[in-house]
Amino acid sequence: MPIVFFQQFEKSGASPASQEESLKNLSVILQKYPALHSKYDGKIAQTLINKNQIDKAAPFVNATLQRTSKDSFANYSQFSKITMLIGANQNQQALELSTALKNQLLTEKQNELSKGGDDFLFAINLLRIAFLEQAIGSEANEVKAWQDWALYSKTNSSIQPNFDAKAFASAAQLFSDGEVSLADYIDSRLKTLSK
């Protein structure tokens, strides 16, 4: 039964009133059956974020983060918290926390404490830092962020720690649009910033 309410809530063609009613029904079920939170909180949060309803998404995000922060997903929980700050237009705080996350991931990598997917998280976070620097208008720091991306994304880089180039390629692919690659975008930004 919860799946029906979730599908009605998620449906893009449904009226806002119908979606709101489905969310209320789903919330009632989740209160009765707390074990379902792990299955639906993240999905509900993502749907609300996609609809730019950050305030409504926050309780579902926080519940998910509270559950996952107890596991070995602390870095991913931090990344998600930063996403919520960006959604709330708190870019300066998001930038500070993204920079701290970058340093945390570097430390873990240097101490060989990183987990399987942390190279990809590091790559995505570097991109986030560059985009946040752009958003707040810090041109010199944006250039530095793009330089960091170039440095760490190189295959067989002499820079230590050495990150998996495939993780960077996967991250770059997410930001490619048609025939415009992330590399093209970065080149364009660096040309603009050098003027």
Q: What is the pLDDT of residue 110?
A: 83
Last residue of a domain, one of 23, 53, 68: 68
Same domain, 7 and 96: no
Same domain, 59 and 89: no
- Domain residues for 101? 72-195
Name the residue among 140, 109, 137 with its Cα closest to residue 123.
109
Number of domains forming the structure of the chain? 2
Q: What is the pLDDT of residue 80?
A: 87
The Cα 58–Cα 28 span in angstroms is: 17
Q: What is the 3-state secondary structure (H, E, C) of 90-149?
A: CHHHHHHHHHHHHHHHHHHHHCCCCCCCHHHHHHHHHHHHHHHHHHHCCHHHHHHHHHHH
How far, in Å, are 37, 103, 150, 177 from residue 147 at the CA level? 41, 16, 5, 22
Q: What is the pLDDT of residue 24?
A: 83
Q: What is the pLDDT of residue 27?
A: 82
Q: What is the pLDDT of residue 186?
A: 94
The Cα 182–Cα 172 span in angstroms is: 6
Same domain, 77 and 64: no
The Cα 163–Cα 118 span in angstroms is: 9
**This prediction's pTM:** 0.73
Last residue of a domain, one of 44, 68, 92: 68
Same domain, 89 and 153: yes
Name the residue among 64, 19, 59 with its Cα closest to residue 37.
64
pLDDT in tens, the chain (195 residues): 566 666 766 676 667 787 788 778 878 888 888 888 888 888 888 888 888 888 888 888 888 777 776 666 788 889 988 998 998 899 999 999 999 999 999 988 888 766 656 899 999 999 999 999 999 999 999 999 999 999 888 866 566 678 888 899 999 999 888 888 999 999 999 999 988
